[in-house]
Structure 1
Amino acid sequence: MKLAFTTLLTASLLSAPVLANNEGHRIGLGFNSTSIEEVDTPSHDYSARGIKLEYGYEFNHIVGVNLSYSKASGDYWGPIESDSTTFKLDTDIGYTFNLDGFSIKPYGVIGFATFKEELRAYGENLGSWDDSSLFIGTGVRGTFNDHFYADFRADFINLETENVDHFVDQFSLTVGYKF
């Protein structure tokens, strides 16, 4: 029984990528919303909005890799403005469900992010901080006609600077083309 189960499982895993062509490169552009919570006494919350550029590659129905850059701007406090940039390298792990002319992939994300924030008031630079960390996330990607896709995802990053924890939540909606 164990041999039959192992053989069936191996055959299923090896044949799954052949069912549909899910492999390929993709590139997209989208909207990014970043919420930052400074966990200090007292805590301070603020947000920024901007653009996101991403590149991805799907290895099969299950695993993909992503490289993204996002830039956002927002109000920090009063006249102080915040500009942030984020670079991410991650892998998404989920399962692609193929339908007629449409596929959907709910997935989980684990990766590495580099975040930098610059603060300024009245055009004067007030300083900056940056940190890098592992992060987790979740998302869903829909592909239409095997080439056009839309991706919604939420990433959660825990950063630290000068003994202040920063909880960074990023939500993005990206549309693009899959080659």
Structure 2
Amino acid sequence: MKKILSTAIFPLLITAPVMANAHHGPSYHTHHHYHNSNHNPYQGPRVGLGISYLSDRHIDTDTGFKLEGGYDFNRIVGFNLSYEESGYDYYRGSIDYSTVKLGTDLGYAFPLSPSVSLKPYVSLGFHRTTEDNRWCSSKNCYSTNYSDTDSYYGIGMRLTADMFYINVSNEVLNMDVGRYRHELDQIAVTFGLKFR
């Protein structure tokens, strides 16, 4: 998990100063640009696609996918809706997870240049996660299905440059599976478009 998170954050650390320097010149004035622009660079819808990964003390899924949409109201508050899938195979069986999340992110978008900003944030909301477990014995195959609606919380960072963005998130899903209570770590990296 640490390896994936490090890999996810690395592009942000490398890309942010490069994009900022590309727009930085003698006449660069962040305050002047944002107050005289015809649009608000911190407001508008966004949509992205990326990879997702799920783990806890007992499971460690393969890399799946994430589809997300959202809306930024200002520098601080954003709305998020996402769908994520991942799973793994084991001897004579497999487990698949699917998650729908609805929530908000709260942080602050720091301007790096007139068209580039970096927003570290905390996220919280609700999720609906389903676990599909399938396995076979020497004679028969079986399946079980568990679903739970509960809360989630986490942290993330979003780099926005013009109409493009990169989002890295690490969120904890509270989930009851049968008689057991789980806290699942869901790490995702998405690339998308920001509309204004």
TM-score w.r.t. length of structure 2: 0.74
User: Which residue, 71, 88, 92 being the options, matches 1:74?
Assistant: 88
Q: Could you list the structure 1 runs, at least 4 aligned residues long, displaced by more than 3 angstroms after superposition.
A: 122-125
- What is the match of residue 163 of structure 2? 147
Q: Give 5+ residue unaligned stretches, structure 1.
A: 1-17, 38-43
Kept in 2: contact 1:118–1:125 (CA 8 A): no
What amino acid is aligned across from residue 142 of structure 1 in structure 2?
L
User: Matched residues in 2 for 1:26 and 1:88: separation?
Assistant: 16
Kept in 2: contact 1:35–1:48 (CA 8 A): no
What amino acid is aligned across from residue 191 of structure 2 in structure 1?
V
- What is the match of residue 125 of structure 2? 111
Kindly state the Cα deviation for residue 36 of structure 1 after the two structures are TM-superposed.
3.5
Residues 31-79 of structure 1: per-residue CA shift (max 9 Å, x gap)? 0001144xxxxxx33324210000010000000000000111212x422
Kindly state the Cα deviation for residue 166 of structure 1 after the two structures are TM-superposed.
1.6
- What is the match of residue 8 of structure 1? none
User: Which residue, 127, 148, 151 being the options, matches 1:134?
Assistant: 151
Percent identical: 37
Residues 7-44 of structure 1: per-residue CA shift (max 9 Å, x gap)? xxxxxxxxxxx64521000000000001144xxxxxx3
Q: Classify the secondary structure of the residue corresponding to 1:45.
A: coil
The alignment yields a C-alpha RMSD, in angstroms, of 1.9
1:45 aligns with 2:59: yes
1:91 aligns with 2:104: yes
What amino acid is aligned across from residue 30 of structure 1 in structure 2?
G
Q: Classify the secondary structure of the residue corresponding to 2:95.
A: strand
User: Matched residues in 2 for 1:26 and 1:61: separation?
Assistant: 14
User: Matched residues in 2 for 1:147 and 1:87: separation?
Assistant: 25
Q: Give 5+ residue unaligned stretches, structure 2.
A: 1-33
Question: 5 Å matches for 1:46-61?
Answer: 46-61=60-75
Using a 3 Å threshold, how does the CA distance of structure 1 residues 60 and 118 change in structure 2: closer, same or farther?
same
What amino acid is aligned across from residue 45 of structure 2 in structure 1?
H
Kindly state the Cα deviation for residue 153 of structure 1 after the two structures are TM-superposed.
0.3
User: Matched residues in 2 for 1:124 and 1:89: separation?
Assistant: 35
How many equivalent residue pairs?
155
Residues 103-122 of structure 1: per-residue CA shift (max 9 Å, x gap)? 10000001001100101125
- What is the match of residue 189 of structure 2? 173
Kept in 1: contact 2:51–2:63 (CA 8 A): yes
Kindly state the Cα deviation for residue 176 of structure 1 after the two structures are TM-superposed.
0.2
Using a 3 Å threshold, how does the CA distance of structure 1 residues 30 and 159 change in structure 2: closer, same or farther?
same
- What is the match of residue 22 of structure 2? none
Higher helix share: 2
User: Matched residues in 1 for 2:153 and 2:104: separation?
Assistant: 10
